[in-house]
Structures are given as C-alpha cells and as structure tokens.
Amino acid sequence: MLNRSLASTARNLTSSRSHTMLKITLTRDNHMSTFSLVDLAGSERPTTAGSHSLDHVDVSFAARERVQKRLNEAKFINSSLCALGNVIAALSQPEKQLQSRCRESKLTKLLKGVLGGCHVTLVIATVDAAPQSLGETMSTLKFAARCKKVPLRPETAADHPSQHKQPRKKSAVMTDAVTQTSLTM
C-alpha cells in the first residue's frame, strides 16, 4: 500500500493513479482459501482529470510535464479498465474465449484467477452524483451491471481431480486394510 500512486487532478486532490490488489491466502490442512481485495482506479475523461492538453495556454515546462504524466496515467487506467470490462463481458457469455481476453492487460492477468468460476465476487461501485460526473457515473454503473451478469459456476472435485487423488488412494488402502482385517477375523 505504500507504493500506491496518488496525484492531484482537477477534481480530486488525492486521486488514485493506480489499481491496488491485496491478496490473502489461508491454508489449513489440505484446504486453501484466497481472499482478494481490489481497489480499481476510477475511469476518467482527460478533461475532467485535469490532464487535458495545455497547447493553448502559456505554462511552464514542468506544468506541461505534470499534465502529460496525468494524461498517460489516465490512458493506462482507462485501457486496463476497458480490458477488464471485456473480460467481464466474456464471463457473462460462457461461449466466448476467456483465455485471450485475460492477456490484454496486467490487471486482467492478475484478476484472472479470481473472476467467475467458483469464486464469489462482490463489486462495490462508487459514483459521484455531481452533474459534471454524469459520464463517469454512467460508465461505472454500466460496468457494475455487467459484473452482475457473471454467473457463478460452482466447481466440484471432478473439476480438480489431481487435488483429490491422494485422499482417494488413502481411502482405497484403508478400505482394503479393513477388508483384510475382517477376513482374517
């Protein structure tokens, strides 16, 4: 969390300029659970982020560099959110090819293991009610609506046979031992 990138924009003094993921893995006996918290940087239009072009304004080189940096950050944030949106759309339509979609950005590569399937996902979409934020708010609500369409596909032991071979072997050996013991009595 210390490496979290924050910067001032036209709308927010401490705008998140990066996505953040905290992954906690709990292991007990032969069971493993993973809890992931993901905070996505919000989508934004360059003009509302204060990262629009300053070609028509006489400003210092340093100010132009800051604006260019905010513009590049906004492009990166928006492209990764777009890639995530494509993955969410693919997950809501099982016939679509998910593998190639997850390779579109670092964000989707990181989230591939926790989206859809047997994972329970909770999406909290935060929006701004201000009229000037209508575009971003609508985009966020559409994304949340797409997330809601992703079906939960519970996985069974048959989906992961390699994880269950050892217990089956032990069970078979124990059953044989009980049978042998019963026969000798």
Number of C-beta neighbours around residue 105 at 10 A: 20
Q: Is residue 123 part of a domain?
A: yes
- Give the global pTM: 0.65
Q: Give the pLDDT of residue 52.
A: 46
- What is the Cα gyration radius of the chain? 24
Q: Give the pLDDT of residue 51.
A: 47
Q: Is residue 40 part of a domain?
A: yes
Q: How many CA atoms lie within 13 A of 102 on its CB side?
A: 13
State the total domains in the chain: 2
- Quick one: how far is CA 9 from the chain centroid? 24
Residue 126 and residue 47 share a domain: yes
Measuring CA to CA, which residue among 103, 67, 97, 70 is closest to residue 84?
103
Q: Is residue 1 part of a domain?
A: no
Beta bridge partners of 32: 27
* pLDDT tens across the length of the chain (185 residues): 556 666 666 666 666 667 888 888 899 988 888 888 888 877 766 665 554 445 545 567 777 787 787 788 788 888 888 888 888 888 887 666 666 677 778 888 888 877 766 677 788 888 888 898 888 889 889 988 988 888 776 555 455 555 545 555 555 655 555 555 445 54
Residue 131 and residue 113 share a domain: yes
Whether 50 and 11 have beta carbons less than 8 Å apart is answered as yes
H/E stretch holding 35: strand 31-39
Q: Give the pLDDT of residue 4.
A: 65
Measuring CA to CA, which residue among 87, 105, 96, 150 is closest to residue 123?
150
Q: Give the pLDDT of residue 27.
A: 92
Whether 17 and 7 have beta carbons less than 8 Å apart is answered as yes
Residue 173 and residue 117 share a domain: no
Residue 112 and residue 184 share a domain: no
Measuring CA to CA, which residue among 49, 113, 37, 114 is closest to residue 76?
49
Q: Give the pLDDT of residue 11.
A: 64
Residue 150 and residue 165 share a domain: no
Residue 99 and residue 184 share a domain: no
Give residue 165's domain range. 160-185
Residue 17 and residue 83 share a domain: yes
Measuring CA to CA, which residue among 160, 152, 174, 45 is closest to residue 94?
152
Residue 31 and residue 73 share a domain: yes
